[in-house]
Amino acid sequence: MSNAQQTEQISAGDGFIAALDQSGGSTPKALRLYGIEENEYSGETEMFDLIHKMRSRIIKSPAFSSGKVIAAILFEQTMDREIDGQPTATYLWEKCGVVPFLKIDKGLCDEDQGVQLMKPIPGLDDLLDRARAAGIFGTKERSVISAANKGGISAIVAQQFELGAQVTAHGLMPILEPEVTISIADKAEAEEILRDEILTHLDALPDNQTVMLKLSLPSVPNFYKPLIDHPKVLKVVALSGGYNRQEANEILARNEGMIASFSRALTEGMSDKQSDAEFDAALAQAIDDIHAASVAHEPA
């Protein structure tokens, strides 16, 4: 696996990143949106079998390897499983030309100062070594901002960059994800604090370290352009954050240089009950729409 080739694929950014990383807490909702109710399975093992089947169906669809999806973020159990007899990360890169990332956070702490920091991640060094051996290119780690509180946002950014340094030390590329909740009244103010805090930390990074950023779609078009243009940032990607696909695409298209990393908005309208032809058509349309929003930006 060529790390340089994968870095160039992410940097060029002619496409978007598929977020296929729903974990334990969000898996029942993901399955429900896919048309599988909780009374149709019993226990975590069966639940994770079903979500892996869904993800495998997405990854094996012809639309997924069209070149419009440049990377995918996986849940740990997805990394540990196989698709058609190959480890998932290997299948993604060798069969689809898609760069594999791994979600590493283990959920959120209770809210304090308007933010939710990441919980401790037991055994992280071992997980990062295992991810590197499995062909994973980078990681993703999420925390949440729910108020324009400078102290809270400062703490969340510091934690993200501290974890990013640990990831980098294992030869992996970190995607730092301090998500701003899109429904809060002071979202624009929170984004201003967040951008300034991130810039301060970026300017302090050593010469051999770069990061990626996954951010909520901003209230002001091109607000994150200083981050996109920063020499220590490989790529800035956007989460859909609760917007439906059409809304998310419309906002994203007004942000030059920012590409999508959508989860729910990607799989919107797809169902376990669809035939393969129907499913593939729905996925192809979603990929075409998100790709267009990621690469063909409108004037702000």
Sign (positive or negative) of CA dihedral 118, 48, 84, 56: negative
Residues 6+ apart with CB under 8 A from 32: 38
168 alpha carbon, distance to own chain's centre: 17
Residue whose entry in the numeric block shows the structure tokens 């974990």: 23
Q: Residue 54, SS3?
A: helix
Residues 6+ apart with CB under 8 A from 165: 209
- 103 counts as catalytic: no
- 177 counts as catalytic: yes
Tokens of 196: 């300034």
Q: From the candidates 177, 179, 191, 197, give the one annotated as an active-site residue.
A: 177
Sign (positive or negative) of CA dihedral 119, 148, 257, 240: positive
Please name which of 276, 240, 282, 281 lies closest in space to residue 16, comparing C-alpha atoms: 240
Helix-strand-coil percent breakdown of the chain, rounded to 5?
Answer: 45, 20, 35
- Other CB atoms within 10 Å distance of the CB of residue 259: 25
CB 32 within 8 A of CB 89: no
CB 262 within 8 A of CB 72: no
Please name which of 209, 200, 118 lies closest in space to residue 159, comparing C-alpha atoms: 118
- Which positions are catalytic? 177, 214
